[in-house]
Amino acid sequence: MKQLPVIQIKNITKSFKTDFWKKKVLAVDDVSFSIDEGNVFGLVGHNGAGKTTLIKILMGLIAPTSGEAHILSNSCMSSLARKDIGYLPESAYYYDFLRANEILMFYAKLFGLPRTLAENRINELLELVGLNHRKDLRLRYFSKGMLQRIGIAQALINDPKIVIMDEPMSGLDPIGRKDVKDIIIRLRSLGKTIIFSSHILSDIESLCDHVAILVRGRLHACGALNEIVQPKVNEVEVIFRGALSGHWPEQIKIHGAPRTVADTFSVTLSSMDQLYETIEYAKNQNLQLLSVLPHKETLEDIFVDSAGAMKRK
């Protein structure tokens, strides 16, 4: 028997009044999807697409204008739903005069954890996020990446089944982003269901099992990443060493013109069908084949196409 999804969102719409004349702005428009246990689920969208609004609805911080959302069969507006959630906001503020272990104890007390259990939990979490050697350091001396990791630790203090992160890698340097990605991978191995929003599509593509693409508040696509991003090869870049004599043969279709760099040149084929013909031509021209690079469709390609299609409507 198939288990019920841990999160169910049905026909969620959220509008805001913006001025004295009560003009309404539609932030989320009739969005529906579900998330199964143990998945890493990515919310993709440009700034203002509705990602944070949808997360706030899931957190019970704002009520939807219409529709409903359930977490583990409980309404997202109920306290029962909140006890199973850990949350990392996009822009968190922490009391910077506190030390790392003190800020986590503060959150543990908010959840009513017994002191001994809280101390054990704090030690586990500091180890998980790689800050056990900084537990006595005041937060005012933390880098942005370290603050983001302490934020993840506070989101896990209640040992939640679901972890929601809003733009967890925004503004981090490459090392900080890798640290956060490693933590997300570790949480998945522990059986947590993780939802995170991002406009850094390479992070979504490398981490997520399922994605939802939001464009101007509407759900453009939702499903398994390997179903949304097709593995087909769109183009092939072929790189040779040597000089091209004369013009490229017209019967071999390429995008643009051959590109020359130092003693190499490259062409981009429209499909794989003419690869062998290209290699045969290069051989006759005494060109050395250096590499064949298939260009596959990416999540960024799909998102840009989606955003462009919505703007034209």
Domain boundary among 179, 198, 228: 228
Q: Which residues of the chain have pLDDT under 70?
A: 1-2, 20-21, 230-234, 246, 251, 253, 255-256, 271, 306-313
**Closest to 240 measured CA to CA, from 293, 287, 277, 280:** 287
CB of 165 within 8 A of CB of 90?
no
Question: Do 150 and 238 have their domain in common?
Answer: no
CA distance 58 to 69: 7
| 2 within a domain of the structure (yes/no) | no
Q: The domain that contains 99 carries what CATH number?
A: 3.40.50.300
Domain count, the chain: 2
pLDDT of 288:
85
Query: Do 239 and 158 lie in a common domain?
Result: no
* Residue 9 confidence (pLDDT): 94
Token pair 């062409």 is found at 267
309 in a structural domain: no
- Both 134 and 85 in one domain: the answer is yes
Q: Quick one: pLDDT at residue 66? A: 94
The distance of Cα 91 from the centroid of its chain, to the nearest Å, equals: 16
Is residue 307 one of the residues assigned to a domain? no
pLDDT at 311: 54
Q: Is the pTM of this model over 0.85?
A: no
Q: How much is the pLDDT for 33?
A: 94
- In DSSP notation, 74-140 reads EETTSHHHHTTEEEE-SS----TTSBHHHHHHHHHHHTT--HHHHHHHHHHHHHHTT-GGGTTSBGG
> Vertex 36, ends 32 and 39: CA angle to 5°?
110
Tell me which of 204, 228, 252 is where a domain ends: 228
Q: Is 237 found in the same domain as 180?
A: no
Q: What CATH number is given to the structural domain containing 258?
A: 3.30.70
- Whether residues 153 and 190 share a domain: the answer is yes
Instruction: Please indicate, yes or no, whether residues 152 and 255 belong to a single structural domain of this protein.
Output: no
Distance CA 56, CA 150 (A): 21
pLDDT tens digits, one per residue of 173-223: 888 889 889 999 999 999 999 999 888 888 888 899 999 989 888 998 898
Q: Is residue 312 part of a domain?
A: no
User: Residue 304 falls within a domain, yes or no?
Assistant: no
Asked if the structure places residue 310 within a domain, the reply is no
Range of the domain at 284: 233-296
Please state, in angstroms and rounded to a whole number, the distance separating the CA atoms of residues 58 and 52. Answer: 10
pLDDT of residue 274: 76
